[in-house]
């Protein structure tokens, strides 16, 4: 059995500003760090064999906080957030004003739309699913990662492709757990948070 414990990074400065950001690299806020500390208290009742982080700062900071076993943190770009390309660093209103046609395309065909200089949700899903599939069996992995990574993985395993991508509530600092029993996925925990 392979067990994957996914932790979404804590709140960032760009979350507060309501900016589109995927590959950008903002810091966590003080509240974000508190959210992750609450996650750590829950995780201390669990076990893990390896800890893995996205290579973005907010995820790596999260990994350092939740790594109560003080294992080496393995860092991979494959579990980065979706690359929003030309939309990165902009609010919805700014995108509407600056790139109205591209915004409409991204709404009309959101699954297949490739953000200019970025990627599309299928690109994200393919890299994340491949990464998780290639993790060794009979281990528990603790991953510090992003909303899009968690939602694309859930959607792939528990609906058809990307059909349920937008249907999961994954809060900053929350924990989601999937077990793979002979490659059969079981959702064991969703959006678990500390008080």
* Residues annotated as part of the active site: 9, 81
C-alpha atoms less than 13 angstroms from C-alpha of 164 in its C-beta half-sphere: 14
* DSSP, res 12: B
CA dihedral 7→81→55→48, nearest 10 degrees, is: 20
Strand partners, 4: 141, 178
- CA 72 to chain CA mean position, Å: 20
As a dihedral over the C-alpha atoms of residue 182, residue 186, residue 191, residue 195, rounded to 10 degrees, the angle is -90
Which residue shows structure tokens 């600056």? 98
9 contacts 36 by C-beta, under 8 angstroms: yes
């Amino acid at each position: 059995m392979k067990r994957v414990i996914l932790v979404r990074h804590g709140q960032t400065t760009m979350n507060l500003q309501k900016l589109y950001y995927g590959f950008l690299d903002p810091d966590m806020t003080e509240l974000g760090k508190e959210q992750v500390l609450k996650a750590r208290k829950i995780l201390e009742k669990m076990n893990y064999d390896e800890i893995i982080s996205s290579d973005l700062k907010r995820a790596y900071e999260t990994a350092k906080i939740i790594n109560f076993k003080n294992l080496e943190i393995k860092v991979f770009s494959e579990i980065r957030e979706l690359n929003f390309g030309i939309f990165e660093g902009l609010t919805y209103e700014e995108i509407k004003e600056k790139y109205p046609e591209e915004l409409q395309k991204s709404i009309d065909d959101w699954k297949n739309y490739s953000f200019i200089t970025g990627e599309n949700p299928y690109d994200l899903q393919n890299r994340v699913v491949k990464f998780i599939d290639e993790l060794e069996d009979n281990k528990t992995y603790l991953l510090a990662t992003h909303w899009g990574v968690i939602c694309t993985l859930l959607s792939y395993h528990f609906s058809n492709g990307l059909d349920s991508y937008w249907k999961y509530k994954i809060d900053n600092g929350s924990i989601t757990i999937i077990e793979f029993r002979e490659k059969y996925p079981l959702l064991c925990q969703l959006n678990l948070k500390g008080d």
